[in-house]
Amino acid sequence: MRYAFYFDQTRCMSCNSCSVSCKDWNQVNPGPVRWRKVATYKADGGPIAMFNLAMSCNHCEEPACLAACSQNAIIKKDNGIVYVDRSKCIGLQLCITACPFAAPHIADDKQEPEQKSSWTIAHPMQKCDMCMSRVEKGEKPVCVASCVGHALDFGDFETLKSKYPDAVQLNSSDFPYAYANNKNETGPSMLIKKRTRTVTLNNGN
């Protein structure tokens, strides 16, 4: 079993219901940290094409964040879920530099005003944990459950591949705009149905 996300670019309306519900469920206070974010990208050259992308931590097969963490604060479960033990984080932020997708986050004092007694530092790294508590009860992550356009799905990686045969695994060739820090191929557990239809602006003629 290897859990994964599926995202359909042709169905996403960029309504942000996934990112809002994620913050609410995980009690992430208002501020710059977003465990799931929605962005719209413009393709370079040719007719104007816009691509929505809703993305969180991709719970990679070979997580670069885990390899970079000297404190063993980042853990990968047998089912593929990658999560952080915030009590072990000492704020080196090597995970942030290593992650190709800018998934690890550090809050500020306004967003995280109270330090928990188990934390070594005021703002240990935080990120998507695939809603582990929901998944353990047989429920889907809250972002998937709240997606009004049914652009998100969740399940076993191989099962999703069979369910959505026109989807491809997230990669730097097809989705260069998804990569923030580097383009290391870490085996992200995310399948995407790519939008290929272009949207041409009316020039008024």
pLDDT at 73 over 80: yes
> Number of C-alpha atoms within 13 angstroms, CB side, residue 101?
31
Identify the weakest region by mean pLDDT among 132-141, 166-175, 178-187, 194-203: 194-203
Mean pLDDT of 153-179: 96
Average pLDDT taken over every residue of the chain: 92
2 vs 26: CA distance, rounded Å: 22
The residue ranges of DSSP E strands in the chain, in sequence order, are: 3-8, 37-42, 50-55, 74-76, 82-84, 152-156, 168-169, 190-193
Tokens linked to 103: 């998934």
End-to-end distance of the chain based on CA atoms, in angstroms? 55
Q: Are strands 3-8 and 190-193 parallel, antiparallel or unpaired?
A: parallel
